[in-house]
Amino acid sequence: MEHNHGSNGSDTGMNVWCLMGDQFGHVKPVEEYFGPKARFTYDGVYDPRAMLAAAPDLVLCVNDFIYDISRCLEEARRAHIPSLVLQDGILEWRCQYENPLFGAGGGAPQHQPVLADKIACLGSQSARQIGAWGNASKVEVTGMPRLDPLLKRTPPRVRRPGIRILVMTAKKPGFTPEQTAVTVRSLRDVKAHLDTVPEIEVIWRLSKGLDQTLGVANRLKDDSGLELAALLETVDAVITTPSTALLEAMLMDRPVAALDYHNVPRFVQTAWTISAPGHIAEAVAELRKPPPRKMAFQRDCLNDSLACAGPAAPVVALLMEKMVAAAKADSGTALRLPPNLLGRDVPAPAGTPAKLSSLYPGQPAFEGEDIMEMQGRLARQQRRIEELEKVIRRRSIFYALYKAGQSLQNLLRRKTGTGK
């Protein structure tokens, strides 16, 4: 079967359609690596018709849980166009299972399943876990292109004993007010201890106004990796709530402790963990003079969580090329890409994935096991969405006409001097 996609018949190389309105740092290193061999179009509207009209060779995204993006991915699969989602950060328990945006709030669970044909995973750890969620044929270990600039940096040696510690939070210190309160309590405890050690200089990098809550000076200028990398070069150790910053600090060979009072499982291991006030003093003492065996374990954690033997952009580019080639060679009516295109072995998950109804109890969207009943419910909901979209478009047109009429009326009044 011949499938009509490609670079519109031109000879400009791979045509990549990017479903994203932000988070460009994940994709730009790949675009730069391809150079003139690929053309990247960024679509922040997520319009399936525009995507199909461009006839891309591959569809790329960073998140696939958004409804309009999922609709584009469905249309791409029908058109035999392969799609790839880039994992945008570490897996974190609260985000996965307690974030109201996802399954815990009745929304689409993250990565359960992955909607794109493939997911470019940060490392073996996330590939194992995402694969165990029912995506064994979709996971590929690539590393994280956004962190490639860190691989080019040679961090200066830390001073011994450590006298400058960076304390930081993830972009979201909590996904609920209760979670945020726990994070604030952990930061207060850390601050109380560090205040008793005057020879330690503390650098704070806190999100969502927590610097004002704690009454500290904040070094958060922006959330770019380069800004954090420059800051990491100036400190001796890091204490951070669970986030991708764990890996960034490890990449810079800084001893890093996970600050986690939430008492939930953690997907990414660390050599140091602060989960209660009684852990702080010992952890800080060791961060200042880390035992070699713990630094060795930290490097093991890093290598398991992040493929960092070399830059990730060339690996993602190779995966994209293999996906396009496999799609063109596939003659079936439904596109199915072979597993493990990169040849990087990921252990096959044992058993079957847990049911969403057990992972997110009490959410009506995940109840029931009758496939025909769920298909009927899905069809009715999609039809309802289409009807509401038509209503919105009509109202938008009427509102635009109303505003245009008002503007014309005001203009005429000003010209005639009739005032209001």
**Residue 130 sits in the same domain as residue 53:** yes
**Residue 282 sits in the same domain as residue 410:** no
Report whether pLDDT(235) > 90.
yes
Residue with tokens 């018949």: 9
Report whether pLDDT(94) > 50.
yes
Pairwise pLDDT comparison (201 vs 417), residue with the higher score: 201
273 beta partners: 258
Q: How far apart are CA 158 and CA 148, in angstroms?
A: 22
Residue with tokens 């880390």: 290
Tokens encoding 76: 């791409």
Could you tell me the CA-to-CA distances from 252 to 241, 298, 343 in Å, in that order? 17, 12, 28
Mean pLDDT in the chain? Answer: 89
Give the pLDDT band of residue 257 (cuts 50, 70, 90). very high
Domain assignment of residue 1, yes or no: no
Give the pLDDT band of residue 224 (cuts 50, 70, 90). low
Question: How many CB atoms lie under 10 A from the CB of residue 385?
Answer: 12
340 dihedral zone (left: phi>0; alpha: psi -120 to 50; beta): left
**Residue 261 sits in the same domain as residue 322:** no
The pLDDT value recorded for residue 275 is: 97
Which one of 319, 337, 359 terminates a domain?
359
Q: How far apart are CA 168 and CA 259, in angstroms?
A: 9
Tokens encoding 244: 């991708």
Domain assignment of residue 213, yes or no: yes
The pLDDT value recorded for residue 420 is: 47
Report whether pLDDT(144) > 50.
yes
Domain assignment of residue 182, yes or no: yes
**Residue 209 sits in the same domain as residue 291:** yes
Pairwise pLDDT comparison (209 vs 399), residue with the higher score: 209
Query: What interhelical angle do 177-194 and 280-288 show, nearest 10?
Result: 60
Domain assignment of residue 96, yes or no: yes
Report whether pLDDT(418) > 60.
no
For 335-358, write each residue's pLDDT tens digit.
899 999 999 877 777 778 888 889
Contact 235, 218 (CB under 8 A): no
| Counted domains in the chain | 3
Report whether pLDDT(17) > 70.
yes
Here the CATH number for the domain that contains residue 29 is 3.40.50.2300
Q: Where is average pLDDT lowest: 199-208, 226-235, 249-258, 394-403?
A: 394-403
**Residue 420 sits in the same domain as residue 406:** yes
Give the pLDDT band of residue 280 (cuts 50, 70, 90). very high
**Residue 156 sits in the same domain as residue 288:** yes
Domain assignment of residue 4, yes or no: no
Q: For every residue of 342-382, which 3-state class applies, written as one string?
A: CCCCCCCCCCCCCCHHHHCCCCHHHCCCCHHHHHHHHHHHH
**Residue 186 sits in the same domain as residue 288:** yes
Encoded amino acid at 252, one letter: M
- What are the φ and ψ backbone dihedral angles of 235, each rounded to 5 degrees? -115, 165
Measured torsion, CA atoms of residues 402, 405, 407, 409, in degrees rounded to the nearest 10: -140
**Residue 224 sits in the same domain as residue 335:** no
**Residue 259 sits in the same domain as residue 125:** no
The pLDDT value recorded for residue 159 is: 65
Domain assignment of residue 50, yes or no: yes
The pLDDT value recorded for residue 3 is: 47
**Residue 64 sits in the same domain as residue 121:** yes
Q: Where is average pLDDT lowest: 258-262, 277-281, 411-415?
A: 411-415
Domain assignment of residue 5, yes or no: no
Domain assignment of residue 7, yes or no: no
Q: Report percent pLDDT > 90 for the chain.
A: 68
Mean pLDDT over residues 257-266, rounded?
A: 96
Mean pLDDT over residues 49-64, rounded?
A: 96
Q: What is the pTM of this model?
A: 0.86
On the 0-12 / 13-18 / 19+ scale of CB atoms within 10 A, 62 is: buried
Q: Where is average pLDDT lowest: 18-22, 52-56, 111-115, 358-362?
A: 358-362
**Residue 316 sits in the same domain as residue 378:** no
Give the pLDDT band of residue 316 (cuts 50, 70, 90). very high
Q: How far apart are CA 94 and CA 316, in angstroms?
A: 28
Residue with tokens 């794109």: 116
Report whether pLDDT(403) > 70.
no
SS3 237: strand
Give the pLDDT band of residue 9 (cuts 50, 70, 90). very low
**Residue 48 sits in the same domain as residue 105:** yes
Here the CATH number for the domain that contains residue 202 is 3.40.50.2000
* Residue 393 structural domain: 370-420
